[in-house]
Amino acid sequence: MKKTYAILLVCAIFIISSAQAQQWQGGGGDTAAMRQRMIERIKPQLIEKAKLTEAEADKVIEINFASRSSMRELRNSNLSEDERRKKLDEIQAANNKKYKDIPLTDEKVKAVNDFYAEQRRNFQQRGNN
């Protein structure tokens, strides 16, 4: 009887943790909801740290959100590390050009890039813990 309860407990924990992980990752791919969560979570930090206006922050988030799918495809591709790095650099250069078209100053473009680099580092650190 104790074994049955133990197995049920393990199954319940697994199901709950899976459901929470899906919720944390965006709940299955609703891009509009993901974009809205990103705006709510990232925009205030972006405005504060990169000294952007609300309109600039909205445009930066849209540019970054659009490029994420290209970056995600690279992660799942069969490219070598050098080829993948080259493609990532191309995507970053295209983003920088779009940032300049907003228009952002060189200082603000650097601040935006630094902000997203910090976000990536923080995300990687959370993944390693």
Q: What is the pLDDT of residue 71?
A: 85
Contacts of 17 (CB under 8 A, 6+ apart): none
Say if CB 36 and CB 78 are below 8 A apart. Answer: no
pTM of the complete model beyond 0.75: no
Give the CA diameter of the chain.
68
pLDDT in tens, 62-84: 999 999 888 888 888 888 989 99
